[in-house]
Amino acid sequence: MLMKYFLLALCYLKLERFTEAKQDCDAALKLEPTNKKAFYRRALANKGLKDYLACSSDLQEVLQQDPSVQEAEKELEEVTVLLRQSLAHASPAKPRTTVPITEVDGDEETSVSPDSEGSCRGDITINLQPTNVYEFGQALNAARCSGNTTACTDLLASAAPEMLPQYLSTQLDGHTISFIMQVLDSHLLEKDPNLVYQHLNHLHTTDRFSTVLMMLEKDDRRHMTHLFEHLSAVESTEFTKNDVQNLANKYI
């Protein structure tokens, strides 16, 4: 069965019938969700369909399973360029509504330990109703240290997107970004895609964001690409696929 889909996918790719090729890869991946060849062929189909975000996501999946696949590495380099070009030519995003940033009382000076592992010792009581920057930082840190995605989901669900950069400014590091991305993707997206979009729309304005982004591990990048891919598949009245692509450009 799997073999049949594979061969079909290959034929369709050769015939440049990318939609059919993609469908056969989807079918193959249903039967065997970790099959790297199916991911690779679907990446080529997505490339043919000019869906570079999905293509990039598939290629990263291949490389995650087997970092030695040089064709995938090469394709990924090429498709990253194509993705950037397509984003550069995308129509400009809708003008943003500006949101006044309200100051949070006090505590700006008290910063959570900024070392990259964060302060992962001891105490894992998580305050799910932080009232200021410091408490939010502590709660998020505690959630990350104990791998408590439920607590992190609750924290992000109740945080105002425009406050996120301030909340995170004291402790932005790769671990935190990566944990937030995972939670947005696997927990919050299903419940509230508009909030995920809004959070992402503000998160990248946090101080030092681009520096931290450059230091992310491959796995973390893969999570991020997945998140944007999932988000761009969402039908929403508050953002378009194009908005998501423009936003992805700030991250990927």
Ligand X SMILES: *[C@@H]1O[C@H](CO)[C@@H](O)[C@H](O)[C@H]1NC(C)=O
Q: On the CB side of 68, how many CA atoms lie within 13 Å of its CA? A: 0
Identity at 65, one-letter amino acid code: Q
d(CA 252, CA 250): 6
d(CA 215, CA 109): 26
If one asks whether residue 158 binds ligand X (CB under 6 A), the answer comes out as no
If one asks whether residue 156 binds ligand X (CB under 6 A), the answer comes out as no
d(CA 89, CA 82): 11
d(CA 24, CA 18): 10
Question: To 5 degrees, how large is the angle CA 148–CA 152–CA 157?
Answer: 150
Give the x-and-dash track for 189-228 against ligand X (CB under 6 A). ----------------------------------------
Identity at 56, one-letter amino acid code: S
If one asks whether residue 141 binds ligand X (CB under 6 A), the answer comes out as no
Among 148, 182, 198, 201, the residue binding ligand X under the rule CB under 6 A is 148
Q: Which of 73-81, 84-92, 142-150, 179-187 is the region at the interface with ligand X (rule: CB under 6 A)?
A: 142-150
d(CA 127, CA 86): 43
Among 150, 158, 194, 205, the residue binding ligand X under the rule CB under 6 A is 150
d(CA 246, CA 229): 12
If one asks whether residue 151 binds ligand X (CB under 6 A), the answer comes out as yes
Nearer to ligand X, 60 or 148 (CB): 148
Nearer to ligand X, 124 or 234 (CB): 124
Contact set for ligand X, span 97-136 (CB under 6 A): 126, 128
How many residues contact ligand X, by CB under 6 A? 6
Contact set for ligand X, span 30-89 (CB under 6 A): none
**Angstrom distances, CA of residue 125 to CA of 122, 144, 147:** 9, 12, 13
* Nearest approach, Cβ of residue 220 and ligand X (Å): 22
* Nearest approach, Cβ of residue 222 and ligand X (Å): 24
Residues that bind ligand X (CB under 6 A): 126, 128, 146, 148, 150-151
